[in-house]
Amino acid sequence: MNILLISPQTPDTFWSFKHVLRFVSKRAAFPPLGLLTVAAMLPSAWHLRLVDLNVARLENEDLLWADHVMIGAMIVHTESVHEVVARCVALGKSVIAGGPLFTTGHEAFPSIQHFVLGEAEGIMPQLVNDLESGRLQPVYRASAWPDIRQTPIPRWDLVDLRNYVTMAVQFSRGCPFDCEFCDIVVMNGRVPRTKTPEQLIGELEALRQRGWNDRVFIVDDNFIGNKTRTRALLRELIAWRRRSGASMGFLTEASVNLADDPPLCRLMVEAGFAKVFVGIETPSQEALEECRKVQNRNRDLVRSVKILQQHGLEVMGGFIVGFDSDGIDIFKRQFEFIQKSGVATAMVGLLTALPQTRLWKRLRHEGRLQARSTGNNTRAELNFQTRLGREFLQNGYRDLMKQLYEPKAYYQRVRTFLKHHRPAGPCFRLSRADLGAFLKSFWLLGVWYQGRMAYWRFFWSTLLRRPRQFRSGIELAILGYHFRRVAGLL
């Protein structure tokens, strides 16, 4: 059987890192981990092709070759999915669709004949049997949270690793917290489920055997959701690095209470973690109460960020504006907080009601829902009736983004980060892509684009005063270019 797996095109967002790709001569930031994992659940005798629209074009030849097309997508991929499905329909190809986009909103896609709703592990055996017997059902729905200790190693052979900046693996699913706006609980539940340390290391070793020794994103909902199992994994990672000579570096997502556990921070850094994305959301205690962000309440969030930085972790922060309790000074407060904390990579978005979340249900009950979420909070779109004026929030958001990523403010924030950051853990080799990115940054940031004077001041001050952190500084300078493009400054 011929199965074509298609990963839709990701629009220009924070997480696309589209504008960084030209610096490192890559085509996409991350591979389609979900589809690669699903591919590993299909019979080995089947013929598989994977087309990632972020790195290649979808040709009619691919569609005509396929007996069935499988699409995996998130909400942000909606537009691309419609385009792909239209092409499949025109050629008479059946589509099997799965992923977050469809799990909470498959009714919006009447042209798709078959859906896999929820996590795939418990559904795939029946789906495979029905494919082989020619009796595909319209909907396959997960009835329970699967045991991901049974999840196979992704089919890395279906993609060219050289196209990507960062590889991706997953250790756990689920988060013990229940923030009102977050759809993690809807998708993966509140009880974190983990793979075994040996299982995850087997996935990393498979990548290493294919020649990958660069950065790996552990895409967990909350890497420290089960601290006991996280510690066990970290100890095994440290041992694996020592015996294998692996030079991979890691980044992940975790809740801010990581700062309360210095020994865990030290373990992460020793294992090779250099970055962690943290949902900080807002400096407003009222908003944290409103959205039940219990892990962030009643703490000095700036101090928590600096603790993580001092342990050797770069904090990438998620921030939200548009809570009901936000006052007209919220944009000023967010800017001051972000600058003071030294969160260089500040991913700020307007609050959006994602399907089936507690926020979505509350706003629907209050009669305030007005549209479906696009999943792209950088577009300054609001899908519900807000307390503060819509135009005020949209204009304020755009101004905040421009203010945050204006070169002078941005480089000052990076300096604050470097001041508090204490490099630790393994030393990572400088790759050919890194050298190329540095050289391109000299020309693009130092000569071609606006902000060149701020770039050179930052360049020389970092090289002379903080030479050990120079690589991190230039990397953040390059990332700042991406965010300036997203903010509309270039």
CA distance 293 to 131: 43
2-141 has which CATH code?
A: 3.40.50.280
Percent of the chain predicted with pLDDT > 70 = 98
pLDDT for 272-294, tens place per residue? 999 999 999 999 999 999 999 99
How confident is the model over 175-204, as pLDDT tens digits? 999 999 999 999 999 999 999 999 999 999
What homologous superfamily is domain 166-420 in, according to CATH? Aldolase class I (3.20.20.70)
Q: Considering only CA atoms, which of 52, 14, 16 is closest in space to residue 163? A: 52
Going by pLDDT thresholds of 50, 70 and 90, the confidence category of residue 22 is confident
Q: In what order do the strands lie in the sheet with 167-169?
A: 167-169, 215-218, 249-253, 273-281, 314-321, 346-350
Residue 430: what pLDDT? 66
Average pLDDT of the chain, as a whole number: 94
Please tell me the predicted confidence (pLDDT) of residue 150: 94
Q: How high is the pLDDT of residue 490?
A: 52
**Contact, 430 vs 471, CB < 8 A?**
yes
Q: How far is CA 97 from the centre of its chain?
A: 21
For the chain, give every domain's residue range: 2-141, 166-420, 432-486
**Mean pLDDT value of segment 164-183:** 97
Could you tell me which residue, 84 or 21, shows the higher pLDDT?
Answer: 84
Rounded to two decimals, the pTM is: 0.94
Residue 258: which of 272, 275, 235 has the closest Cα? 275
pLDDT tens for 386-425 read 999 999 999 999 999 999 999 999 999 999 999 999 988 7
List residues bridging with 28 in a β-sheet.
164
Give me the pLDDT at residue 450, please.
81
